[in-house]
Amino acid sequence: MRKSLIASVALAASTLSAPASAADLPVKAPVAPVFSWTSCYAGAHVGGAWAEKGVTDPVQLVQDQFLGLGTTVGVTTLNVQPTGFIYGGQIGCDYQFPGSWVVGIEGTLSASGMKGVSNVALPLGFPGEQATVTAASDLMPSLTARFGIAADRWLFYVKGGAAWASDRFSTFGFFQGTPFDFEGLDLRWGWTAGAGVEWAVWEDWSVKLEYDYYDFGRRSVLMSDNVNVLSGPMDVKQTVQTVKLGLNFHVWSPDW
């Protein structure tokens, strides 16, 4: 009888204490998803640009076309430094590996308002005569890979790849009293490299600040004067530097 009573009391005590023990268990807080830069995006950018264009040889272009090939002795190189604004858009995709490494590809198209002017004397012309050389950039497309290190919503990256430049050149003035106006269009390819930082500000949007260097090498541009029916080559070596502020809209990975 006594053993039966003790067993009944123990069973009741364990039954009453079970719910209380379950209630005392700690509740796990929901785990926030880890931010990832894996996404595809499209956006726009604005900024400024400056270039160095070494022009060889506008003096020979003018004098030899008017007086005959071989008239000009020596070589003249003129440095034209266009500056101006740029604006355009970009589209790309990134993938973040487990950890911090990010790789991606990006296509960019920048329209340019860069323009520069420089003058050079014409030794075989009348006193005071000179050629005015202008250089203007219209478009700079590029296709680049980028590699970065992510720090949560910050991405620090470098990029590099192929680039193209669409430019307009003119050489105009007077030679021995005759007006001239040589014009030429140039589309050339080269390479670009740069670095930047991007910040995922909110929801699907990020902002970035980026510096890029472009090298388009040396190319010969055909210059034509349609009034005097003259044409000849002018060599141009050019590099461009840009600073861009961009805004991107992302379609994030389903994991985020």
- Domains, the chain, with CATH or none: 43-252 (2.40.160)
pLDDT (average), residues 146-171? 97
Residue 19: pLDDT above 80? no
Q: How confident is the model at residue 21 (pLDDT cuts 50, 70, 90)?
A: very low
By percentage, how much of the chain surpasses pLDDT 90?
Answer: 83
Per-residue pLDDT at 18: 46
CA nearest to 40, candidates 256, 222, 249, 207: 249
Residue 10 has pLDDT above 50, yes or no: no
**Residue 131 has what pLDDT?**
97
Higher pLDDT, 35 or 107: 107
Higher pLDDT, 100 or 33: 100
* CB 153 within 8 Å of CB 100: no
The whole-chain average pLDDT of the chain stands at: 89
Residue 29's pLDDT is 52
pLDDT of residue 32: 56
> In this predicted model, what pLDDT tens digit does every residue of 228-252 receive, in sequence order?
999 999 999 999 999 999 999 999 8
| pLDDT, tens digit (0-9, with 9 covering 90-100), for 190-214 | 999 999 999 999 889 999 999 999 9
Q: What is the pLDDT of residues 45-76, one digit of tens each?
A: 999 999 999 999 999 999 999 999 999 999 99
| pLDDT score of 16 | 42
* pTM score of the predicted model: 0.85
pLDDT grade for 17, boundaries at 50, 70 and 90 = very low
- Per-residue model confidence (pLDDT) at position 14: 47
Residue 254 — pLDDT band, cuts 50, 70, 90?
A: low
